[in-house]
């Protein structure tokens, strides 16, 4: 698939094993993300295909906000990019329900592998970068992990991005 100006994706650290509510689910962060859509900053700039890696946390929030934005901008599309079948098996029941609801409403679902393998999340992140022109990220300045990796590679590729993290370290 050719990379076009119309494609962008979201990225976040996955904190599936945290006992606390992930920091990136705070109302202020969701509001900042919603604001990107509601004031037309993305939809009126010809970004109309939104890719999500479907990670627990910000990816799911961002996908839900795209689905909400479709009520105002019915031409936009959500593409769910899943690193392997069973990605949500270890999610809580509440997150599994959200995950499955998003998949049911997505315009397209791409599953990159039948099974988990070491490095499958990095492969997913590379797929997202290869097929995107813009990045919306929740990055709290943690120097390691998938979000740091992906953002570094986006910067190397000279991709534009916006960080919606309300409280960076």
> Which CATH number characterizes residue 141's domain?
3.40.50.450
- Structure confidence by residue, pLDDT tens digits, 14-45: 433 333 444 444 555 566 666 565 545 566 56
Position 73 confidence tier, pLDDT thresholds 50, 70, 90: confident
Residue 5 lies in a domain: no
- Rounded-to-integer distance, Cα 89 and Cα 80, Å: 16
Residue 135 lies in a domain: yes
Walk across the sheet containing 49-52 and list its strands: 108-111, 77-82, 49-52, 7-11, 134-137, 160-163
Q: Say what the pTM is.
A: 0.80
Residue 9 lies in a domain: no
- Structure confidence by residue, pLDDT tens digits, 119-132: 999 999 999 999 98
For the chain, what is the radius of gyration of the CA atoms? Answer: 15
Residue 56 lies in a domain: yes
Domain that holds residue 125: 23-163
Residue 2 lies in a domain: no
Residue 102 lies in a domain: yes
The total number of structural domains that make up the chain? 1
């Amino acid at each position: 698939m050719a990379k076009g100006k119309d494609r962008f994706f979201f990225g976040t650290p996955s904190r599936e094993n945290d006992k606390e509510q992930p920091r990136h689910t705070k109302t202020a962060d969701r509001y900042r993300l919603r604001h990107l859509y509601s004031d037309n900053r993305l939809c009126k700039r010809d970004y109309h295909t939104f890719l999500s890696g479907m990670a627990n946390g910000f990816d799911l929030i961002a996908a839900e906000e795209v689905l909400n934005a479709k009520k105002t901008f019915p031409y936009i599309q959500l593409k769910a990019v899943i690193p392997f079948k069973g990605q949500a098996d270890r999610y809580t029941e509440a997150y599994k329900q959200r995950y499955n609801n998003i998949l049911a409403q997505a315009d397209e679902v791409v599953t990159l592998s039948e099974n988990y393998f070491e490095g499958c999340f990095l492969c997913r992140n590379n797929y997202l970068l290869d097929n995107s022109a813009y990045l919306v990220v929740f990055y709290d300045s943690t120097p390691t992990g998938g979000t740091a990796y992906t953002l570094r590679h986006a910067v190397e590729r000279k991709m534009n991005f916006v960080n919606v993290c309300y409280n960076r370290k």
